[in-house]
Amino acid sequence: MPSHQPYGSSYSATDLDSGRTVRLATMAGTPVLLVSWASWCVDCAAELKGIGDYLASHSIAPVQVILVNVEDPNGMSASRQTRQQDALTTPMWIDDGNAFARAFSTVGVPTAVLLTRSGRRVATFPGALDLSSSQVQDALHSVG
């Protein structure tokens, strides 16, 4: 069921590339697909590879995909390894306290949350995300 998650929320994580704190509020004006994952999650590994493969040959612009690692402080190392292994080019955030689950009322990984330009949640996809599915494509087009 869609609910409101305004970009003004206090959700933040650490950017894998810069090591700096990033706030979801900085994404205002851009539709965002946040995908939570963890290195120990078998479904997540398949999902990330699928996302990487899909995005290598398809555009979902203007939606920004952000992969959010929600594990322990070793998440940086696991994320770098996964990014290299799967040739992922999307931004990756580290959320070592799993604030993602609290901010978006989710349970378990993987889970994806789609937000409009204004930060309103329009879809939640529990389980491994298939970007080519009609349900996901319809949701992406609704915010694009």
Domain with residue 102: its CATH number is 3.40.30.10
Residue 41 contacts residue 110 (beta carbons within 8 Å): yes
Give the pLDDT confidence score for residue 85 in this predicted structure: 85
Reply yes or no on whether the pLDDT at 35 is more than 60: yes
Q: Does a structural domain hold residue 3?
A: no
pLDDT score of 75 more than 50 = yes
Which residue is it, tokens 């080019």?
89
Q: Note whether residue 135 is domain-resident.
A: yes
Q: Mind listing the pLDDT tens digit for each residue in 42-73? A: 999 999 999 999 999 999 999 999 999 998 66
Split into its structural domains, the chain has a count of 1
C-alpha dist (Å) from residue 22 to 11, 12, 13, 17, 49: 9, 5, 5, 11, 24
The answer to whether the peptide bond before residue 62 is cis (omega within 30 degrees of 0) is: yes
pLDDT at 97: 87
pLDDT in tens, 85-103: 888 999 999 998 899 999 9
Q: Which domain holds residue 82?
A: 12-143
Residue 82 within a domain:
yes
Give 11's contacts (C-beta < 8 A, 6+ positions apart): 5, 23, 24, 99, 100, 103, 104
Q: Is residue 2 part of a domain?
A: no
Q: Is residue 131 part of a domain?
A: yes
pLDDT, residue 73, reads 63
Given this model, what pLDDT does residue 3 score?
Answer: 46
Answer whether residue 5 is part of any domain. no
Contact 23, 11 (CB under 8 A): yes
Rounded to whole angstroms, the Cα distance separating 94 from 12 reads 9
